[in-house]
C-alpha cells in the first residue's frame, strides 16, 4: 500500500469474507480507527481515489456486522464514531472523509473583504422554534459479567472480592470482561482495583482464592480518573482490557449537557442531579448566548435508542450530549446569501462575512449551495459558526484581546524595529500558550502575563 495514501504495515484489522463481501468477527478495541477506515475503503469498497483525514483515535467498542452487510453501512458506522465528521464524494469523484470545522483556529477559506463585495442580497433565517438548550442522552444498558458488593477501600484504591469469578489458567481476567462493583467509599486520584476471586488448582482441580496485582482504572478514553468520581454505596461498571480497567459508568449509560449563562452553584448542581437523576451533567457556560436557559427557558431534548444505544460509557454520553446541544443551538442561526458564483467553494467550508443588515462580522459554515449557471450567481446558506468546545471560545476571545492590546500599544507609543519584533513574538508565543491552556483560569493567567510582558517592551524615548 502506498504510504502517502495512509498505508500501514501488518495484519489487516478486518477479516474479509471475499465470497460474501462482508465482514465477520469485526473490530475490537483498541484497533486503529484510521487503519480500519482505510481497510474498509480498499478491501470492501474497492475504491482507489480517496482522501481520509488522519486521526489517532481507536475503535471505542466492538462492532459486529452480519453477513451481507453492505460496505457502505460498515464505512458509515465507522465514520459516525467520530464527532462532527463527514463523508462524501467531491466533484472529481474522490471519496473524502474529514472533520467539519469546529474550532476558531480552523482555516477560514474566504474573509469578509472578498465575500462581502460579491453579495447581491441577504436574508435571515433564524429558527428559534427548533432550539434546545438541554440534551439528555440515554446510552447502552451495560451487560455485566460479574457483580460484587464485597468491596473494601485500601491505600491505592479498592479491593473487590468476587465469589463467582474464575480466573483464567494464567490467573488473569479475560479481555472485555465487565465487572460491576458497589464501592464502599469515594475514590482517590488514579485509583487501582485489586481483584480477588477463584482459580482452579491444576493439581487438585479444586477452587482456590487468590488476588491479582492491582489494576489501574482509567476513563473510557484512557485518561486518568479524578478523585471523588465514585460515590459511596453506588455500583459502577469497569471493562477489563489488556492490563487496565476502563470505567464505563453505572448500569445504564446516562449523560447530559445544559447551556447556561453562568457557572451554577453547588446547590444548583445538586438540584439538577436530583431532578434529572443524572450524575454526569456538563454545563456549557456561554454568558453571551441568546439560547441559554436563563434567557429562553429550559428546552430539553431526550435522545435514546438506535445509534445512541452504542454509546457505552457515561463519558461518551456527555460528549455526545455536548454535540447534540451544540447542533440544536448553534445550527439554528442561519442566513442566506445570493451572490456572484464562486465555482470552487464547497459545503462545510468556513468563511468570514460582514452582514449588510447589521454590519456585524462573524464566521460561518457553508451548509448549502445552489448555483445558477445561466447568470453566474449562486445561493448560499450559511450557519453562524460557534465552536464545539467552550474552552476554545475562551481561547479565541483571549487571543483577540491580546492582539488588540498589542495594537493599542503600537498606536500609543513609538518602538524601533526590535521593539516591534518583540511585540509580535510575544503575541505569537502568547497565542500558542493560550490555546494550550487546560482551563479558563489558566487562560486568564497567561493573558495577564503576556500583557505585562508587552508593557515592558522598550519604547523609543524622546
Residue 283 has pLDDT above 70, yes or no: yes
The pLDDT of residue 406 is 93
Mean pLDDT of 195-202: 88
* Predicted pLDDT at 216: 96
Based on the fold, state whether residues 349 and 396 are members of the same structural domain.
no
**Mean pLDDT, rounded, for 91-109:** 75
Instruction: Kindly state whether residue 460 falls inside one of the protein's structural domains.
Output: no
Q: Which three cell numbers stand for residue 161?
A: 472480592
Q: Domain boundary residue among 200, 235, 250?
A: 250
Residue 193: which pLDDT band, with cuts at 50, 70 and 90?
A: very high
**262 and 317 belong to one structural domain:** yes
* Residues 268 and 319 reside in one and the same domain: yes
Do 235 and 314 fall within a single domain? no
User: The C-alpha cell of 193 is what?
Assistant: 482495583
Whole-angstrom Cα distance, residue 397 to residue 418? Answer: 27
* Residues 130 and 332 sit within 8 Å (Cβ to Cβ): yes
Place of cell 487501582: 192
Distance CA 26, CA 276 (A): 36
Residue 393 confidence (pLDDT): 60
195 closest CA partner among 212, 208, 179: 212
Distance of CA 361 to the CA centre of its chain: 27
Boundary of a domain, candidates 225, 250, 275: 250
Give 256's pLDDT tier (boundaries 50, 70, 90).
very high
Domain contains 72: yes
What's the pLDDT at 462? 60
pLDDT at 74 over 60: yes
**Residues 453, 426 contacting (CB under 8 angstroms):** yes
The reply to whether 23 and 89 lie within a common domain is yes
User: Does the structure show a pLDDT above 80 at 18?
Assistant: no
CA distances from 393 to 378, 389, 442 (A): 31, 7, 14
User: At 26, is the pLDDT very low, low, confident or very high (cuts 50, 70, 90)?
Assistant: very low
> Tens digit of pLDDT for each residue in 366-379?
888 888 777 889 99
Least confident range from 306-315, 325-334, 383-392: namely: 383-392
Q: Nine-digit cell at 424?
A: 509580535
Task: Supply the pLDDT for residue 81.
Answer: 76
Q: Residues 152, 121: one domain?
A: no
Which has more confidence, 298 or 91? 298
Q: How many domains does the chain have?
A: 5
> Is residue 19 pLDDT above 50, yes or no?
no
> What is the average pLDDT across 291-313?
89
The HSE-up count of residue 306 (CA atoms within 13 Å, CB side) is 6
**Would 63 be classed as within a structural domain?**
yes
The strand order across the sheet containing 85-89 reads 50-52, 95-99, 85-89
Residues 65, 157, single domain; the answer is no
In a domain? residue 438: yes
| 85: pLDDT strictly greater than 90 | no
**Max alpha carbon distance in the chain (Å)?**
96
Non-local (6+) Cβ contacts of 78 within 8 A are: 33, 36, 37, 40, 59, 63
Q: Grid coordinates in use for 45?
A: 469498497
Which pLDDT does position 7 carry in this prediction? 31
Band of the pLDDT at 391, cuts 50, 70, 90? low
Cβ-proximal residues to 307 (8 Å cutoff; 6+ apart), any chain: 80
Could you give the CA distance from residue 5 to residue 52 in angstroms, rounded to a whole number?
A: 8
DSSP letter string over 188-236?
Answer: PSS-EEEEEEEEE-TTT--EEEEEPPPEEEEETTSPBPPTT-S-TT-EE
Q: Residue 95's domain is classified under what CATH number?
A: 3.55.50.10
Domain range enclosing 59 = 3-99
Rounded CA separation 445/363 (Å): 27
Domain assignment present for residue 107? The answer is no
Asked, for residue 106, whether it belongs to a domain, the answer is: no
312 domain residue, yes or no: yes
pLDDT tens digits for range 402-425: 988 999 999 999 999 999 999 999
What does the pLDDT read at residue 192? 97
Which one-letter DSSP state was computed for residue 58?
B
Shared domain check, 448 and 416? yes
Q: Compute the average pLDDT of residues 248-257.
A: 95
Q: Of the spans 51-60, 208-217, 337-346, which averages the highest pLDDT?
A: 208-217
Q: How far is the C-alpha of 462 from the C-alpha of 459, rounded, in Å?
A: 10
Are 59 and 81 in contact by the 8 Å Cβ rule? The answer is yes
In a domain, 403, yes or no: yes
Pair 308, 400 in one domain: no
Give the separation between CA 377 and CA 370, rounded to whole angstroms. Answer: 9
Cβ-in-10-Å burial (0-12, 13-18, 19+) of 321 comes to: buried
Identify whether residues 147 and 216 lie together within a single domain: yes
* Contacts for 205 with CB less than 8 Å, ≥ 6 apart: none
Same domain, 268 and 338: no
Q: How confident is the model at residue 324 (pLDDT cuts 50, 70, 90)?
A: confident
Mean pLDDT of 117-132: 82
277 and 187 assigned to the same domain:
no
Let me know: does 32 contact 62? Beta carbons within 8 Å: no
Q: Over the stretch 127-179, which tens digit does the pLDDT of each residue have?
A: 677 889 999 999 999 999 999 999 999 999 999 999 999 898 778 898 889 99
Measured CA to CA, the distance from residue 287 to residue 274 in angstroms comes to 25
Instruction: Report pLDDT for 332.
Output: 65
- pLDDT recorded at residue 275: 93
Last residue of a domain, one of 384, 401, 425: 384
Mean pLDDT of the chain: 83
Average pLDDT over residues 196-220: 88
Amino acid at each position: 500500500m502506498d504510504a502517502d495514501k495512509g498505508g500501514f504495515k501488518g495484519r489487516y484489522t478486518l477479516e474479509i469474507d471475499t465470497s460474501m463481501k462482508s465482514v465477520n468477527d469485526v473490530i475490537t478495541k483498541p484497533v486503529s480507527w484510521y487503519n480500519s477506515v482505510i481497510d474498509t475503503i480498499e478491501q470492501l469498497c474497492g475504491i482507489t481515489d480517496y482522501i481520509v483525514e488522519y486521526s489517532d483515535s481507536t475503535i471505542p467498542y466492538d462492532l459486529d456486522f452480519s453477513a451481507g452487510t453492505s460496505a457502505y453501512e460498515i464505512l458509515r458506522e465507522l465514520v459516525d464514531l467520530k464527532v462532527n465528521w463527514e463523508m462524501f464524494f467531491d466533484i472529481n469523484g474522490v471519496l473524502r472523509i474529514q472533520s467539519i470545522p469546529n474550532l476558531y483556529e480552523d482555516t477560514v477559506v474566504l474573509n469578509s473583504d472578498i465575500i462581502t463585495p460579491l453579495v447581491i442580497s441577504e436574508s435571515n433565517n433564524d429558527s428559534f422554534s427548533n432550539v434546545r438548550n438541554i440534551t439528555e442522552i440515554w446510552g447502552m444498558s451495560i451487560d455485566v459479567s460479574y457483580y460484587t458488593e464485597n468491596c473494601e477501600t485500601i491505600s491505592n484504591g479498592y479491593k473487590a472480592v468476587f465469589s463467582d469469578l474464575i480466573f483464567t489458567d494464567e490467573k488473569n481476567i479475560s479481555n472485555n470482561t465487565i465487572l460491576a462493583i458497589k464501592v464502599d467509599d469515594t475514590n482517590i486520584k488514579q485509583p487501582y482495583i485489586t481483584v480477588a476471586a477463584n482459580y482452579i488448582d491444576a493439581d487438585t482441580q479444586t477452587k482456590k482464592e487468590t488476588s491479582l496485582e492491582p489494576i489501574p482504572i482509567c476513563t473510557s478514553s484512557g485518561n486518568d480518573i479524578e478523585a471523588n468520581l465514585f460515590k459511596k454505596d453506588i455500583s459502577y461498571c469497569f471493562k477489563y482490557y489488556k492490563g487496565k480497567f476502563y470505567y464505563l459508568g453505572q448500569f445504564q449509560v446516562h449523560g447530559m449537557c445544559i447551556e447556561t449563562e453562568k457557572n451554577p452553584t453547588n446547590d444548583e448542581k445538586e438540584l439538577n442531579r436530583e431532578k434529572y437523576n443524572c450524575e454526569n451533567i456538563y454545563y456549557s457556560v456561554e454568558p453571551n448566548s441568546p439560547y441559554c436557559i436563563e434567557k429562553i427557558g429550559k428546552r430539553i431534548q431526550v435522545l435514546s435508542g438506535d445509534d445512541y444505544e452504542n454509546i457505552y460509557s457515561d463519558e461518551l454520553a456527555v460528549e455526545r450530549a455536548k454535540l447534540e446541544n451544540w447542533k440544536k443551538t448553534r445550527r439554528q442561526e442561519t442566513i442566506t446569501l445570493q451572490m456572484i458564483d464562486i465555482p470552487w467553494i464547497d459545503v462545510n467550508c468556513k468563511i468570514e462575512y460582514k452582514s449588510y443588515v447589521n454590519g456585524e462580522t462573524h464566521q460561518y459554515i457553508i451548509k448549502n449551495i445552489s448555483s445558477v449557471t445561466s447568470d453566474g450567481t449562486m445561493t448560499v446558506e450559511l450557519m453562524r459558526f460557534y465552536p464545539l468546545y467552550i474552552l476554545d471560545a475562551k481561547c479565541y476571545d483571549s487571543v483577540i484581546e491580546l492582539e488588540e492590546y498589542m495594537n493599542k500599544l503600537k498606536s500609543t507609543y513609538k518602538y524601533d524595529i526590535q521593539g516591534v519584533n518583540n511585540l509580535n513574538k510575544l503575541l505569537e508565543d502568547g497565542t500558542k500558550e493560550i490555546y494550550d491552556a487546560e482551563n479558563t483560569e489558566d487562560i486568564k493567567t497567561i493573558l495577564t502575563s503576556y500583557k505585562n510582558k508587552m508593557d515592558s517592551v522598550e519604547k523609543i524615548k524622546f
